[in-house]
Amino acid sequence: MKSANVAPGREMAMQDNRAYAYYPGCSLHATAKEYDLSARAICAALGVELREVPGWNCCGASSAHGRDHLLSTTLAARNLALVEEMGLEEVAVPCAACFNRLAVAGHELREDASLAEEVRGVLERPLQGKAKARALLDVVARDVGTERIRDAVVRPLEGLKVACYYGCLLVRPPRALETDERVEDPQSLDELVRAMGGEPVEWPHKTECCGAGLSLTRTDVVRKLSADILKMARECGADCIVCACPLCMTNLDMRQGEALKAAGERFRIPVLYFTELMALAMGIPDAERWLKMHFVDASAVARRETAAANGMEAEQ
Amino acid sequence: MGDAISAESATTSGEVRFGGKKTEPGFCREVERLSGQKLSACYQCGECTAGCPVAFAMDLMPNQVTRMALAGMADEVLQSRSIWLCVGCNTCVTRCPRLVDLPRVMDSLRQIATHRGVRCPEPAIRAFHDTFLHGVERGGRLHELALVAALKLKTGRLFQDVPAGVAMMAKGKLAILPETPEGKAEVRRIFEECKRRAGKGDGHAG
Ligand code: SF4
Ligand code: SF4
């Protein structure tokens, strides 16, 4: 199957490169465009092949399960069935909320035979239940691994203090997600930042909730929760926050101005997708252009301006 | 806040009437069947409430919701804001020593409340979910701009978020035209089929 004009050494390298199905989810085609673009770019540069699931549908996110459990499981299951039809076993999912839905549904289908039977009946597609949802972060940090990432870095994040923000849905609930992250103190994003030469800060809000889907309806709740996270990141000395979820991004970036205003704060702190931070470190040319889609100016991160370098830190 | 609880039950506030007139036999079983959770497993340690990020905005604390549902206090839990405010962050499930999946309980209470036509004390949240699902049912995928627009119309808060919306569009972040995936008809059929099965009493389609 491999093309004949690949040099022998190159072919070896290509054999470690696994192909994953890719489920962008609805936000990555709209509000989180820069997440999609940067995810595809860093994966291509790292030799990870992403094949978009043909004809994927919305996973139902945080709305379907409140209406009907069978509906929410079937919406997720259809995507997993499509992955199986692609002949692939794992689907890489950048959005934490979509990842959570697909992973929990996959877990329930494997654990609960009668639910699986019912879902098959609604779906009218063969579904073996083998396809596994993986967070893109996990694929990058664990499958590609920090060693290969270190090699790919051309502009290390020297001196950059990063608050790694995992949020809720990447890690909870650990039993159903089948991940090996430490649920109260996850590490993959921290490892990634370290591999790129940055410095993950110690902070207690790694997995605090930003208010997620209440953004449009109970904005007051979201403002409070987001302000708490932003203030803690700042207090712990972070130059920026990195996240892996479009909902977290909306609440921490787009709502940052109003959230901090309501909390009586005047500072601003850039928020980036981990894929964007990687693109900056890997010298991917479009990286700075994607940052322009953010509401809080993140160009200081691109310029590697850190609080320490600016002499803003009083200590020492 | 007060309008979340009907006048009738408000007069009984402070006094928990287990087994009194206000409880509904069979309610606990209905919640357990829909949520797949055993409510009596909860031993009221309060861990869920302690870690819940939105407890500050709730009228009933998460541990009260489990216990009141167990006791059959249907009106109180079905009229509460809490069942709508739960964001499904899974903090409680992760920390519960009895492995009670509280967001599943909250989900099933939403379903019952909707099914019974109970007035929702958080109409915007309910409108959000309805609009979201309506969009997915029709288009197979969510069209974020249509969601924002439809939600504004529905809740009457037309101009609240206009600056953010305009800025998002300017940044090319809200697609103007919805996408039309191949699976559209199939997704619509899934919705239909789930509604049909729910109608037969296998659940509630809302
Ligand atoms: S954490 Fe679990 S056992 Fe404790 S009160 Fe909450 S639901 Fe009950
Ligand atoms: S899942 Fe719901 S009840 Fe549980 S901690 Fe999160 S918001 Fe609170």
Q: Percent of chain B scored above 90 by pLDDT? A: 53
pLDDT tens-digit profile of A187-204? Answer: 999 999 999 999 999 999
Cβ-based neighbour number of residue A151 at 10 Å:
10
User: Left, alpha or beta for A7 (phi > 0: left; psi -120 to 50: alpha)?
Assistant: beta
What is the pTM (predicted TM-score) of this model?
0.87
Note the maximum CA span of chain A: 66
For residue B169, the model assigns a pLDDT of: 58
Mutate to test the pocket of ligand 1, among B47, B52, B60, B95 (most ligand atoms within 8 A of CB): B47
Classify the complex by whether its ipTM is higher than 0.90, answering yes or no.
no
**Best CA proximity match to A284, nearest among A296, A273, A294:** A273
Render pLDDT for B53-107 as a digit per residue (tens, 0 to 9).
999 999 999 999 999 999 999 999 999 999 999 999 999 999 999 999 999 999 9
The answer to whether residues B198 and B106 touch, using CB atoms and an 8 Å cutoff, is no
CB A215, CB A255: distance < 8 Å: yes
Looking at chain B, which residue has its C-alpha nearest residue A293? B171
Secondary structure (3-state) at A91: strand
- At residue A215, the pLDDT reads 85
Closest CA to B93 of B35, B144, B163: B35
Q: Cis link prior to B121 (omega < 30° from 0)?
A: no
pLDDT beyond 90 at A10: no
Cross-strand partners of A52: A22
pLDDT of B28 > 70? The answer is: yes
The whole-number pLDDT of residue B10 equals 40
CB A222 within 8 A of CB A214: yes
Closest residue CA from atom 7 of ligand 2: B86
B113-135 average pLDDT score: 89
- DSSP of A133-198: EEEHHHIIIIIIHHHHHHHH-SS--TT-EEEE--TTTTTSSHHHHT--S-TTS--HHHHHHHHTT-
Atom of ligand 2 nearest to the CA of B55: 8
Q: How many CA atoms lie within 13 A of A278 on its CB side?
A: 32
3-class secondary structure, A291: helix
- What DSSP character marks residue A272? E
- Assess contact for B187 and A71: CB atoms under 8 A: no
- Return the bridge partners of A19, or none: A49
Q: What is the pLDDT of residue B15?
A: 47
Average pLDDT, chain B: 80
Longest CA span, chain B = 58
B138 in Cβ contact with B185 (< 8 Å): no
Considering only CB atoms, B167 lies closest to which of A212, A214, A295, namely A295
Between A212 and B51, the more confident residue is B51
Contact A68 B194 (CB under 8 A): yes
- Tokens 């972040």 appear where? B173
Q: State the pLDDT at residue A27.
A: 80
Nearest in space to A55 (alpha carbons), one of B138, B92, B185: B185
Kindly report the nearest CA distance between residue A64 and chain B, in angstroms.
7
Question: Do the beta carbons of residue A141 and residue A46 sit within 8 Å?
Answer: no
Q: Name the residue among B94, B181, B194 with its Cβ closest to that of A172.
A: B94
Q: How far is the CA of B102 from the centre of ligand 2 (A)?
A: 7
Is B95 buried (19+), middle (13-18) or exposed (0-12) by CB count in 10 A?
Answer: middle
Of residues A290 and A305, the one with the higher pLDDT is: A290
pLDDT value of position A253: 94
Candidates B161, B174, B190; nearest CB to A31:
B174
CA of A167 to the centre of ligand 2 (A): 13
pLDDT tens-digit map of A93-137 = 999 999 999 999 999 999 999 999 999 999 989 899 899 999 999
What gap in Å lies between CA B55 and CA A283, rounded to an integer? 44
What pLDDT, on a 0 to 100 scale, did the predictor assign at position B206?
35
A100: nearest Cα among A155, A40, A166: A166
Segment A157-172 mean pLDDT = 94
- Does residue B43 line the site of ligand 1, with CB under 6 A? yes
Closest ligand 2 atom number to CA of residue A209: 6
Query: What does the buried/exposed string (b/e) look like for A248-258 if buried means 16 or more CB atoms within 10 Å of the residue's CB?
Result: bbbbbbbbbeb
Which pLDDT score is estimated for A165?
A: 97
At residue A61, the pLDDT reads 81
pLDDT for B129-174, tens place per residue? 888 888 888 878 877 666 666 666 666 554 455 556 556 655 666 5
Residues in contact with ligand 2 (CB, 6 Å cut-off): B 48, 51-54, 62, 86-92, 102-103, 106
CA angle B122, B142, B34 (to 5 degrees): 55
DSSP annotation of A242 reads E
Residue window 12-51, chain A: list those with CB within 8 Å of chain B.
Answer: 26-27, 29-33
Minimal C-alpha gap between B106 and chain A (Å): 8
Q: pLDDT over 70 for what percent of chain A?
A: 92
Neighbouring C-beta atoms of residue B148, cutoff 10 Å: 19
